[in-house]
Amino acid sequence: MRTENTNVKLSNMYNMRKIKNHLASISLCFVLCAAGTNAQNGEALFKQNCGVCHKVGGGRMVGPDLMGVTTKRSEDWLLKWTKSSQALVKSGDADAKAILDEFGGVVMPDQAHLPDADIKSIFAFIASKSAPESVSASIDTAKKEVVPDASNNATPEQIETGKNIFVGSYALANGGPSCISCHNVNYSGVMPGGLLAKDLTSVYSRLGGDAGLQGILGAPPFPAMTQSYKEKPLTESEIAALVAFFNKVDKDKPNQLVNTTNPLSYGGVIGLGGILVLIYILWYSRKKVSVKKDIYNRQIKSI
Amino acid sequence: MDVRSQVSMVFHLDKCIGCHTCSIACKNIWTDRKGAEYMWWNNVETKPGTGYPTKWENQDIYKGGWEKNGDTVSLKGAGKFKGLKNIFHNPHMPVLDDYYEPWTYKYQDLFTAPEGNDQPTATAVSLVTGEHMDVQSGPNWDDDMGGSIDYARQDVNLQKLSSAEQEAMFQLERMTFHYLPRICNHCLNPACVASCPSGALYKRGEDGIVLINQERCRAWRMCVTACPYKKSYYNWNTGKSEKCVLCYPRLESGQAPACFHSCVGRIRYLGVMLYDADKIEAAAAAPDDQLVNAQMDIYLDPFDPEVIKQAKLNGIADSTITAAQNSPVYKFVKVWKLALPLHPEFRTLPNLFYVPALLPTMATVADGVYNTTSKSLWNGVESNRLPMKYLASLFSAGNTGQVVDVMKRLMAVRLHRRGVTVGDLNAAEISSAMNEVNMDKETADAIFRLTALATFDERFVIPPAHREESIEMLENTADVKGNTGFGFKETPARGL
C-alpha cells in the first residue's frame, strides 16, 4: 500500500512539473507572438475603425493625417482621445480643443468599444508606418490631399437621383432607411428633414469632399448610422449619386433661402391642438366631479 | 321553452326597521379586507334619499343598465364603439368620492398622547391613503333622511313628481321614509356580465348567481359602470372587481346568505324560481309600462306538468323543482302579486323583489287643522304618505296602476287581519276591499302567515346544491379524477 501511495505522489509531482513547463512555454510564445502580430492586427483594425476618416501619410481627410502622431502625443493622451475626445476636450486639454477647432468642430466618434490592447495595436501600426524622416511633418502642417472630385462633373440626372435617394423617393437597393429621416439639407425642392442628426447642407466641404463622403457612406463611422446601415449597406452607385447631390447642395448653398422655421413643428403644434379640441368635444358630457361635491360644498358653507 | 332555475329573493319593506344588521353581517364576512373597506355588498338606504353610491339611480350620470333599441336592448354605457371611445378612461364610473372615503380612527392616540390641558382625541385616518382626513360622507349619510335638503330632496325618483307634489311630500304631517335594503339582484339579463371585455363575469347555470372570476378579471371596471344598481365594486388593492356572491358557499351547504340569516325584522325571503330563458330578450325590450308584467311572464308555474317536464329535460333536479314549488318568492311574486322589482326600467330583469311599504294615513290636514276623523280607519291608498307616483318610479317604471294594485292587496290583507284580531271594522268595508282585489280569506291568512309568522324554513327554501351535477356543466370530472385536493389556489395579486 505504501509504495503505491508514493508512486501516486511521484507521478503527481511529475505531472505538476510538466504542466508548469507547458504554461511557461505557452506564455512565452504568447508574448512573442503578440509583439510580432501587433502591427499586423493594427493594420486590420485601423482599416476597420479609423480608415474612413484618417490616413497615415497621404494628407488629411475628415480627420487629420496620423503620420507621426505616436511620437507627437503621449500614448496616454492618445488613449484618452480615442476613447472619448469630448471628455478630453471638456477636461480642459488645450491641445484637444485646438484640434477640434481646427477640424471645424467635427467630433471624432468615441471608440470606447475597442479594448485597450486593440487601440494600442493600432498605435503600433501607426508608429511602424511613420517613417523616421516624415515624423517632422506634423499633422498641423499636413496638406489636404488633392483628389480628383469626380462629383464636380456629375450629370443632372445623377444629382436628381441623389436627391430622390436623400428624400426617400427612391428606395435604397439594400433596404436602408432614407437620409431625410434623420438629416436635413437646405435645398430647394427638398422638404425639411429630421433633426436627429447633423444638418448636411455643407457636408461636402466639411467632411472632405468625394473621398471623405465616399468613405463615410461606404462604412459609416457614426454609431447610429453604423447600426442602421450595417446589414443594409449603400451600393456604389447610390453613394456616387448621393455624393453628387451633396456636392451640388454645398455649391448652391449661397443661392438657397435660409429657412429657419420648420413647418413640421408648426404642424405638430396645430395637430396636437386639434386633437385636444376633438377630445374635449367627444368627452364633453363626461362626469367631471364627484356627485357629492355640491352637497359637501353647501354643507361647508353653512357652517 | 328553455327552463332554468334561479335563486330569487323578496324583501318585505313594511318589516324593515333599518338596523343595518344585514350590512354588518355581510361586511364582517366578505368586505372586511384591504381594498374592500368602502364596499357594501349589502346596504340599507333611506327613501327618499340619494343612496349609495350617491345618486346611483340617476343613469344620466352613471350610464348603467340597458336601453331599448328596437326589438332588443343595448348597453347604455358600454359596447363596441362606446367601449373603444372610453377604452383608457371610463368617464361614467363612480369615483371613490361618489361612494365615500373609508376611514378609521387613531385610537392609540387616546392612550399615547402626552399629558396636556386638552382631552386627547382619536383623529380620523383614511383607510385608503393612511393619511389624516376630514370625514366628508359615509355610505348612509342620508340615513333616516339625515340632511334631507342635501339627500332626500335630491332623490332621483322625485323628478317624476310635480313641485307641488314634492312640497306635499315634505310637509311635516306627511313626511315619511322607508328603508330600502339592497344587494346584488342576480339579474336575468345582467348588464355587468354583458359589459365585461374579459369574460370574467358569469351567471351560474345551476342557480343563476352572478359571479366575477377573480382570475380572469382584468380590472376594466366596465361592470362597475354597467351595473345600474352599482353593485359591482372595484378592489383597488387586488386590482379586481368584486360583488355580492349571495353567500354561495353558505347556500351550497343549505344555509341562508348571511344578510338573510341575520335579518332582525325577518324581512327577507329566498327561494327558487323557474323561468323561461327564451323570453328574456323580449321581456327586457318591452315598453316601459309593460316591463313588470313582461318580467312576471318569464317566471313559470312550477306545478305545471309541462314546465316540470321541460325542467327535467334541462337537467334541473327533482329537489330543485320541489323547492320551486315551496318557494316563498314564487308565492309573493307570482301567486299573490305583492312584490315588484326595483327599477325595472334598467331592463336587467332583477331577481330581487320588494313588497312596498304601505305607509297609510289616518288623518288629513286642511287649513292647518289636523283632522283625525276619516271615513274609515285608514284613508285610501291614494292618500298614502308616499305618493303612488314616487313608488311607481321605484318599482314599476312609472306604471302607477301596478303599484296601486299591490297597495290595495296589502291594504285588503291588513283590513282582513284587523277584522280578525280587533274586530272594530265594518264587515262590508272589509269585504269590499277584498272583493276589489279578488282575494279570499284563505289567501289573506296565508299572506299574513308568511309575512308575520313564517319560520326560518318557510322563509328560506334553499334547494340542495347538487354540486356533483353542476360541476359537470363546467368540466369533465373524469379529467380530474384522482387529482382533487392537490395544488394551490392562487391568491389574487394585482396585475396578471
ipTM of the prediction: 0.76
CATH number at residue A45: 1.10.760.10
What average pLDDT does range B46-52 have in this prediction? 92
> How is residue B70 annotated by DSSP?
T
Distance from CA of A171 to the nearest CA of B (A): 37
String of b and e for A262-271 (b: at least 16 CB within 10 Å)?
A: eeeeeeeeee
A2 touches chain B (CB under 8 A): no
The answer to whether residue A5 is domain-embedded is no
Mutate to test the interface with A, among B56, B61, B95, B224 (most CBs of A within 10 A): B95
Question: Measured between beta carbons, which residues in chain B are less than 8 angstroms from residue A292?
Answer: 54, 97-98, 136-137
pLDDT confidence bin for A35, thresholds 50/70/90: very low
Per-residue pLDDT, B176: 87
Is B477's pLDDT higher than 80?
A: no
Is B495's pLDDT higher than 50?
A: yes
Q: Could you report the per-residue pLDDT of B218-247, keeping only the tens digit for each?
A: 999 999 999 999 999 999 999 999 999 999
Q: What is the mean pLDDT of chain B?
A: 91
Q: Tell the residue number behind the cell numbers 297597495, with chain if given.
A: B407
> How is residue B7 annotated by DSSP?
E
What average pLDDT does range B461-486 have in this prediction? 77
Q: Is the CB of A291 less than 8 angstroms away from the CB of B89?
A: no
Q: Is the CB of A295 less than 8 angstroms away from the CB of B54?
A: yes
What average pLDDT does range B204-210 have in this prediction? 92
The domain boundary, picked from A115, A141, A167, lies at: A141
Amino acid at A42: G
Is B58's pLDDT higher than 60?
A: yes
Q: Is the CB of B91 less than 8 angstroms away from the CB of A293?
A: no
Question: Measured between beta carbons, which residues in chain B are less than 8 angstroms from residue A290?
Answer: 54, 95, 97-98
Q: Is the CB of A287 less than 8 angstroms away from the CB of B137?
A: no
Helix %, strand %, coil % of chain A (to 5): 60, 0, 35
* Residues contacting B445, CB < 8 A, separation 6+: B416
A124 with A159, same domain? no
B85 touches chain A (CB under 8 A): yes
The answer to whether residue A6 is domain-embedded is no
List the one residue out of A113, A128, A112 whose CA is nearest residue A35: A128
Lowest mean pLDDT among B76-85, B106-115, B196-205, B251-260: B76-85
Q: Is the CB of A286 less than 8 angstroms away from the CB of B92?
A: yes
Q: Could you report the per-residue pLDDT of B351-385, keeping only the tens digit for each?
A: 999 999 998 888 777 777 777 777 778 888 888 88
B138 touches chain A (CB under 8 A): no
Per-residue pLDDT, B87: 80
What average pLDDT does range B450-474 have in this prediction? 88
How many Cβ atoms from other residues are within 10 Å of residue B225's Cβ?
27
Q: From the list B61, B137, B151, which residue is nearest A287 (CB)?
A: B61
Is B82's pLDDT higher than 70?
A: yes
A30 with A121, same domain? yes
Distance from CA of A297 to the nearest CA of B (A): 10
What average pLDDT does range B307-312 have in this prediction? 96
Q: Is the CB of A287 less than 8 angstroms away from the CB of B85?
A: no
Lowest mean pLDDT among A156-160, B94-98, B227-231, B471-475: B471-475
Q: Is the CB of A283 less than 8 angstroms away from the CB of B92?
A: no
Total number of domains in chain A: 3
Q: From the list B62, B150, B154, which residue is nearest A299 (CB)?
A: B150
Range of the domain at A276: 268-302
Q: Is the CB of A295 less than 8 angstroms away from the CB of B89?
A: no
The answer to whether residue A4 is domain-embedded is no
The answer to whether residue A185 is domain-embedded is yes
A158 with A244, same domain? yes
Q: From the list A282, A286, A290, which residue is nearest B98 (CB)?
A: A290
A248 with A156, same domain? yes
What average pLDDT does range B203-212 have in this prediction? 93
Per-residue pLDDT, B86: 80
Residue of A100 and B491 predicted with greater confidence: A100
Is A11's pLDDT higher than 70?
A: no
A160 with A242, same domain? yes
Lowest mean pLDDT among A254-263, B306-315, B353-362, B422-431: A254-263
Q: How far is residue B486's CA from residue B330's CA, in Å, rounded to a whole number?
A: 41
A130 with A18, same domain? yes
The answer to whether residue A109 is domain-embedded is yes
A114 with A175, same domain? no
B81 touches chain A (CB under 8 A): no
Per-residue pLDDT, A79: 85
Question: Measured between beta carbons, which residues in chain A are less than 8 angstroms from residue B85?
Answer: 282
The answer to whether residue A261 is domain-embedded is no
> How is residue B352 annotated by DSSP?
E
What Rg do the C-alpha atoms of chain B give, in angstroms?
Answer: 24
Is B409's pLDDT higher than 90?
A: yes
Is A38's pLDDT higher than 70?
A: no
A66 with A89, same domain? yes
**The three cell numbers locating residue B118:** 386638552
What DSSP assignment string belongs to A103-135? TTT-PPPP-TTS-HHHHHHHHHHHHHHS-GGGT
A176 with A238, same domain? yes
Per-residue pLDDT, B333: 97
Say if pTM beats, i.e. exceeds, 0.95.
no
Q: How far is residue B316's CA from residue B310's CA, in Å, rounded to a whole number?
A: 9
Give residue B56's Cα distance to chain centre.
13
Q: Could you report the per-residue pLDDT of B391-406, keeping only the tens digit for each?
A: 999 999 999 999 999 9
The domains of chain B, with CATH numbers, are: 265-459 (3.30.70)
The answer to whether residue A260 is domain-embedded is no
B301 touches chain A (CB under 8 A): no
